[in-house]
Amino acid sequence: MITYRTGDLFTAPPGSILVHSCNAQGIWGAGVALQMKNRYWEGFQDFKKWLRYLSAYQGQPLGHTRLLDRHSSSHSIASMVVSNGLGSSVDSPGVILEHTSMAIRHLLLQEIQGAVEQKRPVRELHSPRINAGLFNVPWERTEAVIRERLAAFNNSLPFHGYGSTAYEGRPFHWTVWTP
């Protein structure tokens, strides 16, 4: 399920996950990624370290998500690697959407695993209109990918064991923030 809120993404409820899309170069130089870098420097440093490790030992980081649990923040950060390039050389919308789908799946799997291991409900996901800014992907196309991934997870998971009844008995809920 996706809902929309007007306001500042960074006012999302404490304990939730802030999701953003980024490039595979480890540069959070513009848009929401730059805001994340400025607010969550430790998260940015962790992301760069993770990116180097992933690239060295597993190959291409595209389609992966680094889920960084809280350090000095009340939020966790999910950095989805969806484009190899940046600036004027971002990947095509189709390639970005493919990597977005993979990265969302990776994020949801990590969150389910954490919820089961820690015996807690899954956390709410909050994002801007990812991919619609600097990656130039029409929001409606990314929204369709998010809805598809959420439905696939929410419809396949058993109700018991995930502890959430707030969203029609489905564990995953995504809020999209617009200014």
Kindly give the pairing relationship between strand 76-83 and strand 17-23. parallel
Instruction: For residues 12 and 126, give the distance between their C-alpha atoms in angstroms, rounded to a whole number.
Output: 7
Q: How many angstroms from the chain centroid is the CA of residue 122? A: 14
H or E element, residue 15: none
Residues 6+ apart with CB under 8 A from 115: 121, 122, 123, 162, 163, 171
Per-residue pLDDT band at 102 (split at 50, 70, 90): very high
What is the phi/psi pair of residue 50, to 5°?
-60, -40
Q: Give the full edge-to-edge strand order of the sheet including 2-6.
A: 2-6, 174-178, 125-127, 17-23, 76-83, 65-68
Residue 140 has what pLDDT? 97
Q: To 10 degrees, the CA torsion angle through 136, 18, 148, 117?
A: 150
Collapsed DSSP state (helix, strand, coil) of residue 139 = helix
Q: How confident is the model at residue 71 (pLDDT cuts 50, 70, 90)?
A: low
Tell me the two tokens of residue 163.
């502890």
Q: Does 72 score more than 80 pLDDT?
A: no
What does the mean pLDDT of the chain come to?
88
pLDDT band for 86, please (50, 70, 90 cuts): confident
